[in-house]
Amino acid sequence: MMTTELTHESTLRELATEEGVLRYHEAGQGPPLLLLHGSGPGVTGWRNYRDNLATLSERFRCLVLEFPGFGVSDPTDRHPMVAAGGAVIRFLDGLGLQQVDVIGNSMGGIVAAQVAIANPDRVRRLVTIGGIGRNLFSPGPGEGINLLMEFTENPTRQALIQWLHSMVYDPALVTEELIEERWAQATDPATLAAARRMYGRAAFAAQRAHAAASDAPPYWAMLHKLKARTLITWGRDDRVSPLDMALVPMRTIPDAELHVFPDCGHWVMIEQKAAWESAVLAFLTRKDGR
């Protein structure tokens, strides 16, 4: 049982690497559990997972990595998603961790899957939260991604509020405190510049053109190579990455199970906190391997 309050300051750590300082939050003891955050205005790993740390850290050494390009770790000149996989490996190497369990929210789940495919011995079990996969029946990009692009192009407070509302099922979760902390980070010039490399309309169009011209398969077409046992978690009412996106990973990842949470948007670990934590702990601590 944790006896020390898990605050931002008490859990914050730094790791110097050859490509700059990686900042992270650490809590608990036990097998290492790496938590990777999603993208979007004002996101940080701490904000994604701060309310889950008390429960998860009772069983695991929780390591919440802050990706370069989001205003916490040292910045990167590259597309933040391109830089993320290398940051994960540098982080694991820097801490001397050969194998970890990984939880990835949205973009973090995509990065985790890519890392696990490329380095199958380093990820034991994988938990994803929305985001991973491919739109099959719903329009792509989804409502939340379009609102994210609108904010990135024209970062107003109202655009941020509209995007935040697309992330949740219960609008009461969009509090003034949440708006303020997200606004402060999202409008930082360096963070906004990195966001535009990801979600500006010109950047999005360039990414699509590059993908269309490339002979390399998209990551979701390679999920059959994922060796890690995988738990896919999803909000039934996700308006950022709609539920039909889960069908490809659920079918193609060799050892995957899917858990869908009702009355829940994109932030499953926040909106369905207790149910999500229960499902994740049961999956990660299962003794029989199934």
Task: For residue 82, give the H/E element and its range.
Answer: helix 80-95
List strands edge to edge, sheet with 256-261: 12-17, 20-27, 61-65, 32-36, 100-105, 123-129, 229-235, 256-261
- At residue 287, the pLDDT reads 86
- At residue 214, the pLDDT reads 87
Q: Tell me the pTM.
A: 0.94
CB atoms within 10 A of CB 281: 15
- φ, ψ of residue 13 to 5 degrees: the values are -135, 165
- At residue 209, the pLDDT reads 86
- At residue 289, the pLDDT reads 54
CB atoms within 10 A of CB 211: 11
- At residue 80, the pLDDT reads 87
Q: Hunting for tokens 């491919």 — which residue is that?
A: 134
- At residue 4, the pLDDT reads 65
- Annotated active-site residue 266? The verdict is yes
- At residue 2, the pLDDT reads 47
- At residue 290, the pLDDT reads 54
Mean per-residue pLDDT pooled into runs of 10, the chain (290 residues)? 76 96 97 95 93 97 96 89 95 98 97 97 98 93 91 93 96 95 90 84 84 90 97 97 97 97 97 98 84
